[in-house]
Structure formats: C-alpha cells, structure tokens
Chains A and B, each alone.
Chain A
C-alpha cells in the first residue's frame, strides 16, 4: 500500500502510515526510544539528541523524533554508538544540573532523573573528567516573582519544550531562548519578569517541562508526584470542559495539572491550572444563602432557595409580564446548560430576554 510504510526497528517489522517519524515507527514496534525535547503536541526540534538512532546506509546518527520513516528502512536503537550518544547527552546535561533531587519538587516526575537512573549517570564527572563546581557557569537565581510559577533556570536543560508550547500551541510567545553558547537561557524578551511579558500564566510550560526547572508555586513543599493521587475531573471554570487532574494528598487538593481530554488535548488555562485554592477555602459558600429583610443572609437548602426564586419569578411575571424578566447565563455553563437555560426563559417564562456573559 502506498500510504503505508514497512520498516524494521531493532529487527521488528512494523507498518506505519506514510509521514510517520522513526520515533512513531519505534512506538508502533514497541521499542522505546528516550526523548527529552520531543512532545507529541510540538513540532520536532531535534535539540536534545537523546533519540539518536542508527539507520542503515545513513551518514551518522539520525534523530528519531524528526526523521521521517521510509519504506525498507532498517533502524537500530540499541547499538553501542546509540547508547554512547544517550550517555554522553546525559553526562553533559547532568554535569551542569543541580544534584538536589532530595528536595526537588520534581523528584519522581523528572525525565532527566529517570534517564540518569537508567543509564547510571551518577554525577558531575563527564566521561571521567572531574567537573569542578566553579566550572558551572550557570548560577541563575530562583525566580519566584509572580504568584503562579517558580523558575529555576539552573535545572533547565534547554530542551525548548516550554518555548515551543508557548509559541506553537498557545500562541503567546512570552518566552524564548536568549544569548548563545554556554550562556543560553530561556527567558522573556529583555529578561523582564513574566508578569511584564505577554505571559498569561496558563502554566502549560510547567506541565510540559521534563525537569524541575518550572514548578507551580501553589503546591511547593506540599507533596511530590509519588505522594499524591491524581483525580481526573473536568474543570468547572468555563464551558470548554477541559480534563484536569487534581493532585490530592490526604484528602487535600495540593495542585492541579492538565490531563489529556477530548476538549483540551492536555492543555489548560491559568484558572484550571492554578485556580483551585477556593475549593478548600473556609470562605467558600457551601449552601445557598437567602437575604433577610435586614440585609443579613441566612443559610438555606437548595429546595428552599429554588422555591423562593420560582415563586418570585412567577409573581413578577404576573404583575409585569414576562418581558419584565431577563436571564443572563454564565460562561461557566456548558452549551447544553445554556441551551436549557434559554429554553427555560423562552418556554417557561415566555421572554426572549436572554443573554450570555461571554457577549459582554
């Protein structure tokens, strides 16, 4: 078939659709290739060099994430040269990475840590060369100047995932690489604080960061990935219906992260990502309140509150006609809820005075 390609990965035959990458073919063949900069939402970058593989007949190693598979290709992912490439990349990255995994928020949820473990890259030595701490040119200060994100550029491996999701997917372009060589770093234009940049704090950069360079400020010190449960839910902030994982430890929500869902493809906005402190707030209303004549509120049941609303609407309609009533629905409602709302306004109350806050 013309639109299908047959190739072999580590001796396994695999059939993939035309246009698939070597990495895709390897996945289809059940062969795992390590990656740091690759992410399915993003265009291939080829930056991290972890996915280098051997392809018979090709000059040098090729990045599996960016090289299209072709028919008859013979791919090898476990040769000495390939493993040497992975080890070298890890040694180089770890050589300038803080080794504070004991207290790092991302321990247990860090690709660099996982691969260092897998390839036994233990410390700062690079192929036997003692790398003195003084040689570490990257002495960045922790940036916690905004309410949402903490940036620790010492832990950044410059894979560019955050930059690419900001540019390619979110379309904000708040951050990019600046400078060159060993002094390259990810930051805002002119290095201004994130709050002064086009950043909207969606936090998708944080979700996609493979190390601890970007962390949520809200959950710091409250628990790490192996200490909390992920509870899948739908974000209640608007009608989009993003899938969200709440991080729950000992019955407490300590954080949230985007989850893969049909409406959001693993992305969320600032509200879903960081707006969960209200859930457990002592100020949160948990029952309806009815205003007494003196202006104070008293707790009520939902039945009581809804009965009051229904009777007052009926009184107004009787006294002034249905057009004396208008309905304004919330953007937090779903399409279905908005549909029901306008049906109620039109059929039950009898007015076309219905609108939606998203139009304001």
Chain B
C-alpha cells in the first residue's frame, strides 16, 4: 500500500472501488485463506501458514508456469472452530473450497496438488463457499445461519482496512456523514429494533437517545469487550476477525449522541484482539476515518483501547467505567445511569462488541431490513458460542427466534458420541440451564428470561448425561463467588454460603432443607444485590433446582450422584463376567488403581482410585461398574 492519504467523503467511493479490485479475485488469481484467529492459531495455524508460504516459495517456477498469481490471506474465524486449522483455496471464478484440520504436511500437499496442480484433494475438503454472504449453505450446520455480525469474519484479512472497505465497510459512516442528522441515525437504529447484545437486551436506539439528550459539553462512547463468561468467545471472534465493524459502529454511535471520544474496554486475555484493534485504529486514523475532521466533515472522534486486568465484574458497565478511570473495578448503584453520568461524570453510552458490530450494517441496509429478521420483540441475529458436549464446537450466528433444538441438533450437530442431551447452559454464570423439555423454546430475549435463563452475551455450554447438574451449579457458583467484587453483602457473603452448601451436597453431606434454603437464599441474592453480577449469580443454581431437583435430592437423600461425577458419591469396580482383560482401563487410569494381567479379569483398587471415571469411559465391554461407594470401613480402634 502506498502511504495513506486522508480521504474525504467525496474520495471514499473511488477508494472503495480500488479496494474492491484488490479484494475480488482477478482472472488467474488464486487466494489461499488461512484461519488465523485464536481458534486457528491454537490449532497450529501459524505453522500451517508458514508451511504454505514455504511451499509456494519453493514452487515459484511451477506457479509462474501455471500462470497463477497466488496470494495468501490470513482471516478471522469462520465459526467452525472445532475444525481448525481451516485452509481455503479460492480460484477466481470458482467456489472457494475448504480444508479442515490442516497440518503443515497437508498444507504442503494442498499447495502442490491443488494450488499448483489444480487438483483439489477431494477427500479432505469439508465444504464449499459460493456466496460469501451464505457460506456452506448446503450443509445442515450452516443452512439456518444468517451472517450479519460475522459477515466479514473468515473472509477479510482483519489487518487490512482495504478488505473491510471492499466488503462495504465504512459505507454506514458514509451515509451518516452525507447528511443524516444525529436524530436521524437514532431513528434508524430504533426502527431496526436492535437490543443490546451484552445480555440484558436494552433497546439500543433508546439508550442512544438518552445519551444524546443528556446535557453535557463532553460525551463518551464505550465498547464493552470484557467478554468473561466461561465458554463465550463471540466478541473475541468479532474483534479478531472484523475489528473495523466495531470501530465503524462506534463512530456512528458517537455521531448520534454527540461524543468525540471513546474507549474499547477489552480484556487483556485477548491479546490478538487488542493487536488487531490497534492495527485497525491506526489504519482508520491514517485514512482520515478516525481522529479529527473525519472524511473532511469536521466530525471528530478519538478512540482509545483500555485493557482490562482480568476482573469478570468489569463487564458490568459501572465497574467497567470505574476501571477505565483508573479506579477499582467496582459497580455503583444506578441511577445515575451512564447516559447522564458516566465516564468522568459525563454522559456516556456503553454497548457491547456485537451490538456495535450490527450498527454499520443497519445504517447501510436500513433499520427496516434488520427488523425483518428475528421475532417481534427480538430483532436481527445473535451470535452464539457453542461449547461443551456438542459435535460442532464453534460460533453460530442465527436469526432470533430459532429454537434451541435447531441450534443444538442442526447447527451444533447434536451431542458428541451420540449420548443423551441433558441441558444447555445459556448465558454463562448469569444464565440458566435449559433441559430437554425446553428444547423447542425460541431463542429470544423474553422467552429465555421466562424460562429462568437469559440470553447473556451468547455462551452456550451443552451438557450430556455424564454431567452432574449439582456439580455444574457448584462450578458456576464458585466462579461468581471468586469474581464477586465483594462490595455488597448479598453477593459477597450470600454466594459464598451457597457455594459452601453446594460443596457439602456434592461431598455427600447434604441435609434435608438444603434445597429450599438454596432457593430462598438465591432469590434474596437476586433481589437485594447491587449489580447485575449478584442479581443473576444464583440463576444456574435456581434453574438446575427447577429442572433437575431429583438430582439434588439423590445427592442429599440417597447420597448418590446419578451422573457419576461427584467423587465422594461414586465408586468404580470391574464386572468380572464382562471383563475381557483388554487392559484399556489400566492404560487410561491416571492413578494406577486399575490393574490385572492381559486376558484376565482386571480389578480396581478403591484405595488408589480417584474416581475420575476414565476407565468407565474407556471400557468397550461395559465391564466397569459405577456405583455408590462402599461405606467407609470403621476405624480400627487402638
């Protein structure tokens, strides 16, 4: 790229045309795309990319002879995280072909056989993309997905602003600056029906209007990128795959409310997202799309990145603002709301990453278009991070109103190893579990709240029959307890007492009345806590009690863990009739408890057994029996 020159509104269309020429494949061109978001890198993407480059370099004469111009592009996450490393080969004028689970060796073969030789390695190809707006539409996992927020993820190189612009980027800002008034922008967002994607679902247009109307000589906009729910990585993928969408959304929001400064509060555990945001901010500033006198219109907006230091509670907006201001990240009561008194007591508008990323598309395609997607009260799409015991771990963007069943069984591909679906935990530690009986619940803000869960930021942890719901509740309670800011007694002390009670139940020391006590205390914590963390912290416990009360009762009354998870309530033994003496249990046992000679009946030494269940999972002959622990031997006197 030549040294950037600052664009004006008038230059932008011509600049975009240039970008499009660079982005679209020219005849004879081949683009190799490597997924290098955190998911791709974790799977070894960097080595794969290096292998591709090396192989290309060594085959330069052949590439030239074949008349190919080959470009390697790194992209963000397509959503198929479980299949990373993903490498796509795209010949101009042909569908883009996707290889999954690519190793450096396979990458070299792909270059040699497909890119140079023109012979796709058919048995390693998992899908084809003909339409960038609807990838893999012929596959069940993708057929029902609608990509608005993730539209660019996996297509553009997130570190090249030209790619973003080529895919229609900054057209929303262009439309706004061409003559839409701030009130006009807010009206468009209101028409769209967009609600906050951070979890609570407050109408975005209304929020902007509050901040726009608030009196103040200085205003701020903030992007909440402190995604901290266990199992949630939607925002990370957006920031890593399409950072300019968030920046453009913030620019439009700043214009609408009259802000000239903004912060992206991103957790420091997302170094790649932060790096790509920095690159994006630099590039946008260099082109005059950010900073002073944007596109020559006089509108100015300065954007900073603030790295969070690892506190979950800083995802709560008042704690987040305190943290930006250099204070301890602790929530404060509202009112005053940030719209009136936010950062440094100035009117401030805070939205989540996904909310901001929706904004440019709404401004380009119109609020009415957006409102045409989803349900009556929940418009547009929602990105979910599917994790747990589901086949297709990864990201999915679905229209609001889709059922849980469609997400789990069609998009998610069902439960791993064909086991039984038990529940999905939606909304992380603030949300609740949805049992099989609620699989047909439409996924929208209001239906989920009615079921005792919440949309949350979009984490979906799927659990199967091998998960103990009491243990699951205990896990989330331990999480919120250690992440509570400690300010208000209901959250600080109440969640500790709930956790201790759950630990007791899991240890087989539950007492009659514990369940009712948990419900009572959970309701009190919800009603009396200061902030959203405490007000939602008991949800996992309350919903697991609501839908799986029998499991709690089994722990307390029968001292058994039906799922065979809680170590104190389970024991493992060998069923002599079924054991073939294959040695699998011995191989997987981490504590040396399983023993025996080959082809003879094995045994498990209860004294050494740590009750991890590895032998139970590994045995092919169902010869491991999981049962209640034998009563502890009476201590020998003396």
Residues of A at the B interface (CB closer than 8 Å) are: 44-49, 52, 60-63, 66-68, 81, 84-85, 88-89, 92-93, 95-96, 126-129, 131, 135, 137, 157-158, 160, 176-177, 179-184
- Whether A179 touches B486, Cβ cut-off 8 Å, given contacts A49-B530, A95-B497, is yes
The answer to whether A177 and B330 touch across the interface, beta carbons within 8 angstroms, is yes
The answer to whether residues A92 and B489 also contact, given A68-B335, A177-B330, A180-B311 and a CB cut-off of 8 A, is: yes
B501 contact set on A, CB distance < 8 A? 129
Give chain B residues whose Cβ lies under 8 Å from the Cβ of A52.
Answer: 528
Question: In the complex, are the beta carbons of B492 and A135 less than 8 A apart?
Answer: no
10 closest residue pairs by CB, A with B: A184-B486, A46-B333, A92-B493, A182-B496, A181-B484, A66-B333, A92-B489, A85-B528, A88-B524, A181-B482
Are the C-beta atoms of B497 and A129 separated by less than 8 Å?
yes
Name which residue of chain A comes closest to B530, CB basis: A46
| Closest residue of B by beta carbon distance from A81 | B527
* B482 / chain A contacts, CB cutoff of 8 Å: 180-181
Across the interface, which residues of A come within 8 angstroms of B492, CB to CB?
A: 158, 181-182, 184
Is B332 an interface residue, CB under 8 A from the partner?
Answer: yes
Contact B493 A95 (CB under 8 A): yes
Q: Report the nearest B residue to A157, measured CB to CB.
A: B489
Asked if residues A47 and B487 are in contact (CB atoms below 8 Å), the reply is: yes
A128-B335 in contact given A46-B530, A48-B489, A61-B527 (Cβ < 8 Å): no
Minimum CB distance partner of B518 in chain A? A129
- For A62, what are the chain B residues with a Cβ–Cβ distance below 8 Å? 333
Cα distance A95–B530 when bound, in Å?
20
**CB-nearest residue of chain B to A134:** B500
**Known A49-B530, A95-B497, A180-B311; contact A84-B524, beta-carbon cutoff 8 A:** yes
C-alpha gap A84/B521 in the complex (Å): 11
Q: Mark B313-330, 1 if CB is under 8 A from A, else 0.
A: 100000000000000101
> Does the CB pair B335–A182 fall under 8 Å?
no
Whole-angstrom CA separation of A131 from B496 in the bound complex:
11
Known: A128-B517, A158-B492. 9 other contacts (CB 8 A): A67-B335, A88-B524, A89-B490, A89-B528, A92-B490, A95-B497, A129-B497, A181-B483, A184-B485
For the complex, what is the distance from the CA of A137 to the CA of B486, rounded to whole Å?
A: 13
Cα A61 to Cα B487 with chains together (Å) = 17
Min Cβ gap A78→B in Å is: 16
Query: Within the assembled complex, what's the spacing in Å between the Cα atoms of A317 and B584?
Result: 111
Chain B residues with CB below 8 A from A158, complex form:
486-487, 489, 492
- Contact (Cβ within 8 A) B333 A177: no
A144 vs chain B, min Cβ distance (A): 25
Instruction: Judge whether A85 and B527 touch: CB under 8 Å.
Output: yes
Contact in complex: A47, B488 (CB < 8 Å): yes
- B520 on interface, CB distance cutoff 8 Å: yes
* Closest B residue, CB atoms, query A180: B486
B481 sits at the interface (CB 8 A): yes
Q: Does B27 contact A (CB under 8 A)?
A: no
List residues 182-209 of chain B with CB under 8 A from any CB of chain A: none
A157 neighbours in B (Cβ, 8 Å): 489
The distance from the CB of A142 to the nearest CB of chain B, in whole angstroms, is 21
Complex-state Cα separation, A157 to B490, whole angstroms:
12
In the complex, the chain A residue whose C-beta lies closest to that of B486 is A184
Asked whether B485 lies within 8 Å of A129 as measured between CB atoms, the reply is no
5 contacting pairs across A/B (C-beta < 8 A): A46-B530, A66-B332, A180-B313, A180-B482, A184-B487
A211 to chain B, nearest CB (A): 13
| Contact status A61-B335, CB under 8 Å | no
Closest to B481 in A: A181
- Chain B residues lying within 8 Å of A85, measured Cβ to Cβ, are 524, 527-528
Contacts of A135 in B (CB 8 A): 497, 500
- Given A180-B484, A181-B486, A126-B335 contact (CB < 8 Å): no
Q: Is the CB of B497 within 8 A of A88?
A: no
Distance A36 CA – B410 CA, assembled complex (angstroms) = 53
For B517, the chain A residues whose CB sits under 8 A away are 127-129
Task: Compute how far the CA of A61 lies from the CA of B336 in the bound complex, rounded to whole angstroms.
Answer: 15
> At the interface, yes or no: B513 with Cβ under 8 Å from chain A?
yes
Chain A CB within 8 A of B573 CB:
no
Interface centre among A67, A89, A176 (most CB of B within 10 A): A89
Which B residues between 474 and 526 are near A, CB-CB below 8 angstroms? Answer: 481-490, 492-497, 500-501, 513, 517, 520-521, 524
Of B330, B483, B528, which is in contact with the most chain A CB atoms at under 10 Å from its CB? B528
Min CB–CB distance A89 → chain B (angstroms): 5
Q: Most A CB atoms within 10 A — which of B311, B481, B524?
A: B524
A56 CB to nearest B CB, Å: 16
| CB pair A126 B497 closer than 8 Å | yes
- Residues from chain A with a CB closer than 8 A to the CB of B494 are 88, 92
Most buried by B among A62, A89, A129: A129
Distance in angstroms between the alpha carbons of A89 and B491 in the assembled complex? 10
CA distance A52 to B534 in the complex (A): 15
Chain B residues whose C-beta falls within 8 Å of the C-beta of A48 in the assembled complex: 488-489
CA distance A182 to B500 in the complex (A): 12
Specify which chain B residues have a CB less than 8 angstroms from the CB of A181 in the assembled complex.
481-486, 492, 495-496
Q: How far is the CA of A129 from the CA of B490 in the complex (A)?
A: 15
- Give the nearest-CB partner of B318 in chain A: A46
Taking A85-B528, A127-B520, A131-B497 as contacts, is the C-beta distance between A182 and B490 under 8 angstroms? no
Asked whether, in the complex, the Cβ of B500 is within 8 Å of the Cβ of A180, the reply is: no
Whether B484 lies near A49 (C-beta < 8 A) is: no
Q: Is the CB of A180 within 8 A of B483?
A: yes
**Residue among A49, A66, A127 facing the most chain B CB atoms (10 A cut-off):** A49
B209 → chain A closest CB, angstroms: 19
User: Are B528 and A61 closer than 8 Å at their CB atoms?
Assistant: yes
- Nearest-CB residue, chain A, relative to B479: A181
In the complex, which residues of chain B have a beta carbon less than 8 angstroms from the beta carbon of A88? 490, 494, 524, 528
Q: Which of A49, A63, A180 contacts B490 (CB 8 A)?
A: A49
- Let me know if B521 and A127 touch, CB within 8 A: yes
A52, B520: Cα distance in complex, Å: 18
A164 to B567, CA, bound (A): 45
**A104 CB to closest chain B CB, in angstroms?**
20
Which residues in A have their C-beta under 8 angstroms from that of B530? 46-47, 49, 63
B500: chain A residues at CB < 8 Å are: 135
A61 and B524 alpha carbons, distance in the complex (Å): 11
User: A184 CA to B490 CA in the complex, in Å?
Assistant: 14
Contacts of B484 in A (CB 8 A): 180-182, 184
> Once bound together, how far apart are the Cα atoms of A328 and B278, in whole Å?
62
**Residue among B485, B486, B528 making CB contact with A49, cutoff 8 Å:** B528
Is B528 a contact partner of A182 (Cβ separation < 8 A)? no
Complex: A84 Cα to B530 Cα, angstroms: 16
Q: A127-B521, A129-B517 are in contact. Are A60 and B332 (CB under 8 A)?
A: no
Contacts of A60 in B (CB 8 A): 527, 535
Taking CB atoms, residues of chain A closer than 8 Å to B496 are: 137, 181-182
The CB with the most chain A CB atoms within 10 A, among B483, B487, B520, is that of B487
